[in-house]
A and B are shown apart, each in its own frame.
Chain A
Amino acid sequence: MLILTRKINESIIIDDTTEIVIVEIKGDQIKIGIKAPKNVRVYRGEIYEEIQKENKEAAKTRINQNLEDIIKRKK
């Protein structure tokens, strides 16, 4: 992994198209600005990982009860 040191308002440019700016540093939180082409999808890493993990768990789902009955009982 490439590691660079940056100060506030300094930036990193990736592939001529995406700019990452350090906007603010407060304690252990860093605000980052991202300027990227509209077709580049940007997500927080942990959301991505959570969904991967949940998909793996969901793939194990097996049903041995009537789920619609459970819902109707609730409704």
Chain B
Amino acid sequence: MIIVTKAIGEIQINDDEVIYFPEGILAFEEFHRYAIVSEKENAIFKWMQSLDDPELAFLIVNPMDITTSYQPVLHHQALELIDNPSAENVNVWCIVTVPPNSAENMTVNLQGPLIINNKKKLGGQFISSSVKHGVKARILDLIEKNEA
């Protein structure tokens, strides 16, 4: 199907790329269908585009690409929402916020990771109970810490 995106125009996706979020994400509970899209296949940053509203999209990143030590702490039954995926079927993404005119200060929300059951195409936003994570971790600081 062809979808209209907020950031990269009209693109073609396959039906099996549609991810269903039974509870949406926090503050956007009424939007359930998303697809992960990017201009370049190997892009670090991708867009999680709503299929219900072309104007709704979140920039996302695989947290392991920017910090080696990330381990969300989840309630042991939280993943029932996405049908308890086995480890090899799990994808973890975190939402990125880029402040206008100050891309160096982009931050990532490590407190509320998006977890996707790749096999069942189900997703949800979960709350990590670790107090270290925070909703606004500066990405360049995380990278610097890795290098140190």
Contacts and interface: CB of A to CB of B under 8 A. Distances in A.
Contacts of A52: 26-27
A70 B104 contact: yes
B148 interface: no
Interface of A: 38-39, 41-43, 47-48, 50-59, 61-65, 67-68, 70-71, 74-75
Contact of B109 (A41, A48, A58): A58
B56 A55 contact: no
Contacts of A55: 25-28, 58, 95, 109, 112, 125
B98 interface: yes
B128 to A, nearest CB: 9
A50 B135 contact: yes
Contact of A54 (B57, B104, B112, B147): B112
A70 B75 contact: no
Contact of B140 (A38, A54, A70): A70
For the complex of A and B, list the 10 residue pairs with the smallest distance between their C-beta atoms, beginning with the closest: A51-B112, A52-B27, A54-B135, A58-B97, A38-B77, A52-B26, A65-B103, A61-B98, A55-B27, A58-B95
Interface in B17-63: 25-28, 43-45, 56-59
